[in-house]
A and B are shown apart, each in its own frame.
Chain A
Amino acid sequence: MSELRMENLVARYGKVTALDRLNLTIKDGELVTLLGPSGCGKTTTLRSVSGFLKPDEGEIYIGNRNITDIPPEKRGIGLVFQNYALWPHMTVFQNLAFGLELRKVPLEEIKKRVRSVLSVVKLEGYEDRYPRQLSGGQQQRVALARAIILEPDILLLDEPLSNLDALLREQMRFEIAQIHRRLGITTLYVTHDQTEAMVISDRIVIMKDGKVMQDGRPEEIYLRPKNRFVAGFMGTTTFIEGTIKSSHGDSCVLKTSEGWELRGITCGGVTPGSKASAAVRPEAVEILYSPVATVSGQSHTENSFEAEVDSSYFTGEVIDYHFRLGGSYIRVRGDTKKILKPGEKVTVRIDPDRLPIVPAE
């Protein structure tokens, strides 16, 4: 069994605590992504698991095996680096065969496994090429092949797509997800790209200041953020502040300082009377181009408000509007067929089923 378990991990760099009692379990065959801003501790976690950093406290297990004090070369972990780290003086074959040679695998078996793993990453026939003769995407695939050819218990990927161009990065996300599904290796993936994390992960762990802020399935993290940090980190989010007026099960009503009422999804245990923030994402906002009657800025229709265009940006697919909504600003995506000018007033409706309301910080 290749379950990866971290118990009370603490890592410090001088006075800075990079990991603050981290507890995390990755089930056998699961792909978990550590997501967070720079300095949140995700790379420190990965380096602790790989053995290149000794945590100050805590223990790491693969299955029932405590690997905390085991050197990296004996952990049975495959690593894929941001810069691929393919040895430039070795051909693709030699890069892939390196670990097998160290394990004294017979040459015929090595050849067979190299061919097999190259077919997994769709690079058949590239055995004799040097890394410099490969594109960035191909190098990334060789790096992945080098990590999986040893059939590791755990696969660690450290921002493996961040050096690729946008188009290739999008393509490789799906390929990594497919390869993981095919091989079923327990995988810990580190990235700061939320879309990448959404596409490939079984589970996402959002980190901040060495702590787990939320741990859950991608859709859960996105639609039900537990706090303002997670809500702000996932998607293009703007906030409307207020106080919880009422709460009924999964739904609650936020009252703003203008007296407007917004209904949304109860997240992070907000309770009536508590300060809260509505996390508005562009895809949850609809622009009603025809004027709608409002009273003090709020329409009779639920979650509909008068908004004024503050600025607009043409992005090609959509117009990215910044609307002034009472004392707040929200970002909205509009149709390119009808372009609104700054100062124009329209009514916007925020979908209550896509409006998480989280505790204010």
Chain B
Amino acid sequence: MLVSSSASRKGLNVPSYLFLLAPAVIFMLLMYAYPFLASIVRSFLDKSGAFSFENYLKTIDLYTKDIAFTFSVTLFNTACTAVLAILLAVYFRIRQNRITKILSAIYKLPLFIPFVVVAQMMNSFLAPHGLLNVALAQLGLIDLKQPLQLFNFAGLSFGFLWKQVPFAVLIMHGGFQMIDNSYIEAARSAGAGMGKVITRVLIPMNKSSILVSLVLVYSQIVGTFTLPYMLIGGKIPTTITVDIAHRVNYFRDFGVANALGVFSYLLVLLTAWYYLKTKLGETK
């Protein structure tokens, strides 16, 4: 307040403490806003530099299946992550025993493994003669001459869940731990079994961290390159990120790559819109 009034005495319209933000704002503008806006602008320019929808027409013509594939993989894995992470986080919250202690130590391990390593692991684990198929064959569940083909939607989902569920559990678990026992006990004394306690009390009370974790998971899946690249590569359908790399590496076609980028922004924008809508609703 004092700084503000001294600033107004000097005839400035903005409080002087706002200048403290300048380095961060400049950094954000240069490193995030400028490349982001530049990629959108360039997606509307043809090779001669004139305004055109050519890149979008080409993108729609060539990559509609991949955009749909990316969206469906992302939605499916976000939904599966939600279910699995909520179940695990709730279990950690309501049961405190030796099993939860062991599980809560183990589940965090994937968080410390980079995507590229996960991709390599999945590559050997899910391969036609990889560990999974061999194990299933030894159990007599499949014939190794006709192994499960997992370098597709299923294998990609397996890799994403392996990596993303622990991340979501970590955030959700923190939120569930903040809920005092008395809220659970109040529900139980009102006649609620554990199922009702979870659905009517624990999950709604932890809505915020569940939402944050799923928005982050969704955004990360949309933007992940290494896992789809190493599992699916250029096969059709693949993800937008692989297509972008393909356009840049093989055709130096930054226009279509930028247009594909705009489609991934739009996919992420969906969650940003939902997140802001929910947060604004909570504030009201």
Residues on A lying within 8 angstroms of B by beta carbon are: 50-52, 71-75, 77-79, 81-83, 85-89, 98-99, 102-103, 146-147, 150
Q: Is B252 an interface residue (CB 8 A)?
A: no
Q: Which 8 A-B pairs have the closest CB atoms?
A: A99-B190, A85-B182, A85-B186, A79-B189, A81-B182, A89-B204, A102-B191, A72-B188
- Nearest to A152 among chain B residues (CB) is B189
Q: CB-CB contacts of B220-258 with A at 8 A, as 1s and 0s?
A: 000000000000000000000000000000000000000
Please tell me which stretch of B117-125, B193-201, B210-218 contacts chain A, meaning at least 4 of its Cβ atoms lie within 8 angstroms of it.
B193-201
Q: Is B171 an interface residue (CB 8 A)?
A: no
A326 to chain B, nearest CB (A): 50
Q: Which residue of A52, A82, A86, A99 contacts B191 across the interface (Cβ within 8 Å)?
A: A99
Instruction: Report B171-203 residues with CB < 8 Å from chain A CB.
Output: 180, 182-183, 185-193, 196, 200-201
A287 to chain B, nearest CB (A): 48
Q: Which residue of A71, A85, A150 contacts B180 across the interface (Cβ within 8 Å)?
A: A85
Q: Are A79 and B185 interface neighbours, CB within 8 A?
A: yes
- Nearest to A52 among chain B residues (CB) is B185
A50 CB contacts on chain B under 8 angstroms: 185, 189
Contact-size category for B: 10 to 19
Q: Which residue of A51, A71, A75, A79 contacts B186 across the interface (Cβ within 8 Å)?
A: A79
A79 CB contacts on chain B under 8 angstroms: 185-186, 189
A237 to chain B, nearest CB (A): 34
Q: Are B183 and A85 interface neighbours, CB within 8 A?
A: yes
- Nearest to A96 among chain B residues (CB) is B190
Q: Are A89 and B190 interface neighbours, CB within 8 A?
A: no
A78 CB contacts on chain B under 8 angstroms: 189
Contacts known (A89-B204, A98-B200, A102-B196); A146 close to B185, Cβ less than 8 A:
no
Q: Are A98 and B187 interface neighbours, CB within 8 A?
A: yes
Q: Is B205 an interface residue (CB 8 A)?
A: yes
Instruction: Report B128-157 residues with CB < 8 Å from chain A CB.
Output: none
Contacts known (A73-B193, A83-B180, A98-B200); A88 close to B186, Cβ less than 8 A:
no
Give Cα A86–Cα B201 distance, bound, in whole angstroms. 10
Would you list 16 pairs from A and B whose C-beta atoms are within 8 A, ordered by A residue?
A50-B185, A52-B185, A52-B188, A72-B189, A73-B192, A74-B191, A85-B180, A85-B182, A99-B192, A102-B191, A102-B192, A102-B196, A103-B191, A146-B186, A146-B190, A150-B190
Q: Is B207 an interface residue (CB 8 A)?
A: yes
Give Cα A89–Cα B211 distance, bound, in whole angstroms. 15
Q: Which residue of A87, A98, A99, A146 contacts B205 across the interface (Cβ within 8 Å)?
A: A87
Q: Are A89 and B182 interface neighbours, CB within 8 A?
A: no
B200 CB contacts on chain A under 8 angstroms: 98
Q: Are B205 and A77 interface neighbours, CB within 8 A?
A: no
Q: Are B205 and A88 interface neighbours, CB within 8 A?
A: yes
Q: Are A81 and B205 interface neighbours, CB within 8 A?
A: no
A75 CB contacts on chain B under 8 angstroms: 189
Contacts known (A73-B193, A99-B191, A102-B192); A87 close to B186, Cβ less than 8 A:
yes
B3 to chain A, nearest CB (A): 32
Give Cα A88–Cα B193 distance, bound, in whole angstroms. 19
- Nearest to A147 among chain B residues (CB) is B189
Q: Which residue of A73, A81, A86 contacts B188 across the interface (Cβ within 8 Å)?
A: A73
B190 CB contacts on chain A under 8 angstroms: 73, 98-99, 102, 146, 150
A167 to chain B, nearest CB (A): 25
Give Cα A85–Cα B201 distance, bound, in whole angstroms. 11
- Nearest to A102 among chain B residues (CB) is B191
B183 CB contacts on chain A under 8 angstroms: 85, 87
- Nearest to A150 among chain B residues (CB) is B190
User: Considering residues A82, A85, A88, A146, which has the most beta carbons from chain B within 10 angstroms of its beta carbon?
Assistant: A85
A150 CB contacts on chain B under 8 angstroms: 190-191
Q: Are A87 and B185 interface neighbours, CB within 8 A?
A: no
